Structure 1
Amino acid sequence: MITHILSDIEGTTTAIAFVHRSLFPYAASALEDFLAQHGDDPEVAAILAEVPGDKLATLRGWMAADAKVTPLKALQGLIWQQGYADGALRGHLWPDVAASLRAWHARGLHLAIYSSGSEGAQRLLFRHSEAGDLEPLFEGFFDTRLGAKREAGSYARIAQAWAVAPSAILFLSDVAEELDAAREAGLATCQLVRAEDGTLASGRHPQAADFHAVNALLPA
């Protein structure tokens, strides 16, 4: 029986356009000023120590390629933190998401996020969401430090961290290959097929048009 729900962000809780048209451009435009102001901060310096070669050029290259590398994601998270604090950014959620998350939490279901964005960036999006502060609804925020999203071992580690059988976890994502890996690890799966994002149904997993439709896969 499903007792835990693990959710992706981009294309699942949040429009792909928000990430690519708001978050990524904001981080790119603020990068040089942020490094000039905070490059010597211990947290930032530790991140930069993991960036090879010309720091700025490497970071720009990673941004252009949308590389899923931990130093970039960590740095973007710090830049977005500043943007959220300044009020320049607000976390986008599809209209069905906040109400569903609150209802699932009230039913006693355990909630967590697994995204390629850093844990810090995940927390910021939900803390500063358009629907208010949703961060307290979640028990965990998992990122690429745990492993790649298309590798079954990552999902096995999440089940271990949650101290629950993989079969008790329902993973929600728009990406079929991520769902394939989760299913290989023993998780239940559901593909979010949001028309607004142009998601194509894989046919390999149960699917839902929004979070309301996910309820059909949950215990009564």
Structure 2
Amino acid sequence: MGFMQNDDGEWVKKGVVTPQKGNERGSESEEESEDEEEEENARTPTGNRTPIGEHIPTSISPPPIGYSSRRAAGSSNEPQLNSLEASMDEIKEEQKRLGQTLDDMVISMKTRFDDIKKLLTAHTERFGILDKDIRGLKHQVNNIIHVASNVIQNIVNEFTSTSAKLQAFVKTSAEDVVKATEIHLDADRHLHPRVIQWTYWFSTTWTNWLKKFEVDHPPPPFDSP
């Protein structure tokens, strides 16, 4: 008798009935295998037959063409399941890496936002100090300009007053000189020839001074020598 593989993937002797679930094709293949074995036994010479009771070495023959079993189907699905499990593990690892990357990005963004807030606060304080300094400097400049304007105005006023006094003094002095000259000329006619040249020089020089200081005064009553 030969051996065959049942639906559970076990190798059993031919002729042993194993429970099958509605597999009529499997029973037909068993009957055909038994018929083939009987024909082979009939062809084998008597001298070559092994006595009953001796151990017969058995060789496992490959399953017939078209044979399919649950074990074969299960074994063919195992690589796919392993591949799917490996893919799921890779996806989970990738999700973990992505989650860690996102967490790092969130922490980095939060840290940078905090740094930006600190910079804004520091710049706001610095701008406030700078604005305060600029306002103080502006007040100082305005005060300096105001004081300088007052000083310049006082100088102008003083110069105007001094100029008016000087013009009045020059005018008065010219009148006094003319009167004194007239008195002396009238008192002593003998001095007239000698004094006339000096009087002319004096009157010319005095007239130039009057023109220089823009004093409105009539010229002295002297003729040229």
Write 1 or 2 for the structure with the bigger share of strand: 1
Q: TM-score, normalised by structure 1?
A: 0.16
Compare the two structures and name the one with the higher helix fraction: 2
RCO comparison, higher one (Cα < 8 Å, 6+)? 1
* TM-score after normalising by structure 2: 0.16
